[in-house]
Structure 1
């Protein structure tokens, strides 16, 4: 992968011909051609310049065409001859040489402007930074650890985020794909720290960072440049570090409720879109307006989505279990085979026998990993202050039946109900209480000794229907 990356670098960034690459690297011409023009995306930007064709509409038309083609693989770009033929179809009366002079002038001035831009700006348009942030959400009344992969574009301060269950390679590459999709394009360059899924050897004083083969293949497919930070140098990607904190304190300060990671992704994407309607901290312009300008510099997304999965071989123990994600999963009839093929995506695991039979197709173990909320402690505080339930941050995390049972306006009755549920929490979890609510909450199930509060259900019915209770 390093050799392929070098070939693409010489072709795209150094502008060497196939023959020159062949001589420089001493490789076969066909090999140089194959890897130089395969899955290639240009990083060229356009800046219109003066020229004879600018006196009419033709220069503007050709500039637009060149700008469009610059986002395509080199082998898919139109030749000068093809551009000339298309111009003639529109009524162009100039010569082929006139067009060639204009194109060459456009390329020369475009490259000069690009160099000046990189020298003038600390963060040129199209440059992004990415990092993980650890957050929490609530699903089915239980806490879920969320690894939010966050991308920041320092030039405009636009931010994007994808919540994920882990920081492994499958999640990291899937998250980048989702971030590219949210951005509407691929950043020209991506700055990362020494993430294990991307960097197998960190940068030293004498050597550049070495990227993993899987990340190199992903990078080559999408065409972005990679800038790896120095070890223990978080300030080198300060924009995304600040964005992680901003998202945590503004959107995860109270753990959001999610039904799935896809649902939380949609929630977060909408919030970040709305968040762009604020002024840039320094430029005094709406972030949304700056982003509209910056996204013109993004590379075009490929037509086909890059497949992200990991294949490995696994052994099954005598209990039909394989080790995965710091745990074990049961594989039906797995012990019948000495080795099994395991295919992993960011959220699923598929176990296949040597004969090709699918033995297991399920979510990965960490997709089901939950932590219980400290309901006993929460209810203890609520019992002391029943009024606080209505505005507590934990109110929305209560399951439906329990929530409806507790949110009653009569504070004395609310206090009694809080104590009744608190008594059940000693022997049952909140999910079980909600599922078997009507059976568990009934007075005969609790027992008179355990529940000294006599409940008049006709009074409850009157209160909930608004008829009132006679004293």
Structure 2
């Protein structure tokens, strides 16, 4: 069996760091013989031997013309650049070229490889252990006997490829905090850094690109002590791990349509399935994801003595029927409280109404089901 190129590269890289062949073999999980073979190998390219060198038909005046067209393309929008097919058509029509399309296609491919700039590729980001990315996805599920659109919060750990998910009725700050509470409690630790995509309700992105966090989420961050970062909305490569995790979890946890007695029950079931999936082998490191996640845990923060109560308290005014309006949803306190000022404690799954003196009135199911598509802009 051929040793993967990435293993060969790792052998050389570790050797340059001063590791012995035995240490490298143990680190990569390969035999010492394999390490010796690739540590001493000469990787210098050698010219091919045997056979007859192929001669490109795109040469001379044809090559000069094609080069002019492709060079000019570099100043044009991508959708207005020559394809290999268009280059062949123009060479035939304008220059009398008699060669095949495949010869032009090969020539164009080589030209683009030679002229490709560094900015046209992407380097894989290095993620430190203990850091995580957060994003939302949507799927249908049956919750308490009713088919609902579930906004599932995904927390992915790029270092280990560990993924956790929580089921929520919306994407508000209360929902984000509730979902993260569930994930932190299940993992038993808190990530040192959380990187958020824009599709979350925890902040407000201004026109200058800065982000102002909601008061509730700022308190949540202070309670757990983690650092928060937000992705550049135009830099998709920054959030590849979590976007892949959203699709992966939707395919593996939500097909067929899941069912549970409540939101938290659905979350608990999904978290258990995430642990089962983590017994599988990492797509690149050839070790169980759970083993790599242990390194993540070693770099994470301990849980504080108490869980954060993700409740946003607001002053509201009841109408003449004793009903209050919160986030465009109506909640009945009762006729007794008509036209009075009340306190509303808004959580992800419940709304608690109290008098201004702190007397409990009623606790109702939160009707939050609005999908937040991203940060609003000033």
Structure 1-normalised TM-score? 0.49
Aligned to 1:281: 283
- Give the conservation status (yes or no) of the 8 Å contact 2:349–2:366: yes
Give the Cα separation in 1 of the matches to 2:295 and 2:234: 33
Q: Deviations over 1:347-390 (max 9, x none)?
A: 111212234333322222348xxxxxxxxxxxxxxxxxxxxxxx
- Give the conservation status (yes or no) of the 8 Å contact 2:321–2:334: no
Aligned to 2:92: none
| Equivalent in 159, 162, 183 of residue 158 of structure 1 | 162
How far is the alpha carbon of 1:214 from its aligned partner?
2.8
How far is the alpha carbon of 1:194 from its aligned partner?
2.7
Give the Cα separation in 2 of the matches to 1:261 and 1:208: 33
Distance 1:212 1:364, change over 3 A: closer
Give the RMSD, CA atoms, in angstroms: 2.3
SS of equivalent residue, structure 1 residue 292: helix
Distance 1:151 1:225, change over 3 A: same
Q: Deviations over 1:286-330 (max 9, x none)?
A: 111111222111111111222221111112222322223433222
SS of equivalent residue, structure 2 residue 126: coil
Aligned to 1:254: 256
SS of equivalent residue, structure 1 residue 255: coil
Distance 1:360 1:141, change over 3 A: closer
Aligned to 1:269: 271
Structure 2 residue 138 is the aligned partner of structure 1 residue 130: no
Higher percent of residues as strand = 2
How far is the alpha carbon of 1:202 from its aligned partner?
4.4
Structure 2: which 5+ runs fail to align?
1-123, 370-378
How far is the alpha carbon of 1:155 from its aligned partner?
0.5
Give the Cα separation in 2 of the matches to 1:198 and 1:307: 15
How many residues are matched? Answer: 247
Give the Cα separation in 1 of the matches to 2:304 and 2:338: 42
How far is the alpha carbon of 1:166 from its aligned partner?
1.2
SS of equivalent residue, structure 1 residue 218: helix
Aligned to 2:184: 180
Higher percent of residues as helix = 1
Q: Deviations over 1:88-112 (max 9, x none)?
A: xxxxxxxxxxxxxxxxxxxxxxxxx
- Give the conservation status (yes or no) of the 8 Å contact 1:322–1:331: yes
Structure 2-normalised TM-score? 0.61
Give the Cα separation in 1 of the matches to 2:308 and 2:337: 34
- Give the conservation status (yes or no) of the 8 Å contact 2:317–2:342: yes
| Equivalent in 341, 346, 349 of residue 348 of structure 2 | 346
Give the Cα separation in 1 of the matches to 2:214 and 2:358: 29
| Equivalent in 299, 307, 311 of residue 309 of structure 1 | 311
Aligned to 2:300: 298
How far is the alpha carbon of 1:212 from its aligned partner?
2.8
- Give the conservation status (yes or no) of the 8 Å contact 1:222–1:301: yes
Structure 1: which 5+ runs fail to align?
1-119, 368-471
Higher relative contact order (CA 8 A, sep 6+): 2
Give the Cα separation in 1 of the matches to 2:296 and 2:363: 42
SS of equivalent residue, structure 2 residue 301: coil
How far is the alpha carbon of 1:140 from its aligned partner?
4.9
Structure 2 residue 222 is the aligned partner of structure 1 residue 212: no
Distance 1:203 1:290, change over 3 A: farther
Give the Cα separation in 1 of the matches to 2:144 and 2:310: 29
- Give the conservation status (yes or no) of the 8 Å contact 2:320–2:338: no
How far is the alpha carbon of 1:203 from its aligned partner?
7.5
How far is the alpha carbon of 1:150 from its aligned partner?
0.7
Q: Deviations over 1:393-415 (max 9, x none)?
A: xxxxxxxxxxxxxxxxxxxxxxx
Distance 1:196 1:255, change over 3 A: closer
- Give the conservation status (yes or no) of the 8 Å contact 2:162–2:293: yes
Distance 1:272 1:300, change over 3 A: same
Give the Cα separation in 2 of the matches to 1:141 and 1:220: 37
- Give the conservation status (yes or no) of the 8 Å contact 1:276–1:287: yes
Distance 1:163 1:224, change over 3 A: same
